[in-house]
A and B are shown apart, each in its own frame.
Chain A
Amino acid sequence: MIAPMRIALLRLLPILAAPFALAACMSAGPITDPEVAALAARLNSDAASYYAALAISRAPQCSYEQNKNSYDTLSASAGALQSRLAAVPTNPALTRAGSALTRLIDEARLSHHSASAKTDDTHGVCMAPGAIALNAQAIARASLAIAATQTTGDR
């Protein structure tokens, strides 16, 4: 039981680490809007924690029904970030980045719902571990890119 959990986590690590490395390379200089940086960082952190826990959960805890609240939280965080980006438009294109991130969270919810609705595969109501890793990586990539704009200033 413990060994598969460790393997699942180990598989997630390099994928989750890649966007951090990219953001770290681009992080330097003054913060232009600390609230945007904080909201994006919190969304990334919440999503990483959520997907790490989901990767080691089993049925029925892994089902969409049991995880609706987590998606509500992620959607609320993405909505708050999008609102802030629209309210303080330091870069008009960032508003589009914010809406792409909001759509991404909506699609992540949909992918979990779709996976749980079909129980005729090997994972039953759970999402495939590979799909969990991909969704976690996508949210990290997008949220860290937005956070990095507030630390590089000129991105």
Chain B
Amino acid sequence: MQIDFPKLGKELSQALIAALKSDSAKIKALAISEGEQLAFALTRIGGLLARREIDAEEAAILARIQRNASEAVLASLAEVSRVAAGKAIKAAIKSVLTSSLGQSPIAVILKAADA
């Protein structure tokens, strides 16, 4: 299954903005940027997996790396609380598991990693 990268980026960005519950323009801008970065990375991981350049275990590790990077970026904002950054990433990924990522192999891996 081909991942719709622009759609995934938009959904992740919107989910991050909603989860962070802030009117700050700075937070919204960073949430959009981070949503796009995460979408890019998940699409690339999906591609590597589809081409069998990596296996499911490696894909899960690479996805965790990207989650940690996004959490570090969001937690670096003074307005974002310690807990909110991690929760926002989790909520954003959960939201795309049933939409943009659908039944793609990367969705299956993300679900298993979160279980």
Contact = CB atoms under 8 A, between A and B. Distances in A.
A101 B68 contact: yes
Contacts of A92: 82
Given A107-B61, A131-B53, A138-B68, A93 B75 contact: yes
B81 A93 contact: yes
Interface stretch (B3-11, B43-51, B95-103, B104-112): B43-51
Given A93-B82, A128-B53, A141-B37, A134 B72 contact: no
Interface in A82-118: 91-98, 100-101, 103-104, 107-108, 110-111, 114-115, 118
B53 A122 contact: yes
B19 interface: no
B68 A145 contact: no
Contact count band on A: 35 or more
A97 B75 contact: yes
Interface residues of B, number: 34
A135 B62 contact: yes
Interface string B40-67: 0100110110001111011001101110
A130 interface: yes
A134 B85 contact: no
A36 to B, nearest CB: 11
Contacts of B85: 93, 96-97, 100
A123 interface: yes
Contact of B61 (A114, A133, A142, A154): A114
17 contacts: A92-B82, A93-B75, A93-B77, A98-B72, A104-B65, A114-B58, A122-B53, A128-B53, A131-B53, A131-B54, A138-B41, A138-B68, A141-B69, A141-B72, A142-B69, A145-B76, A155-B78
Enumerate the 3 nearest inter-chain pairs by beta-carbon distance, A residue then B residue, closest first: A142-B72, A138-B69, A97-B75
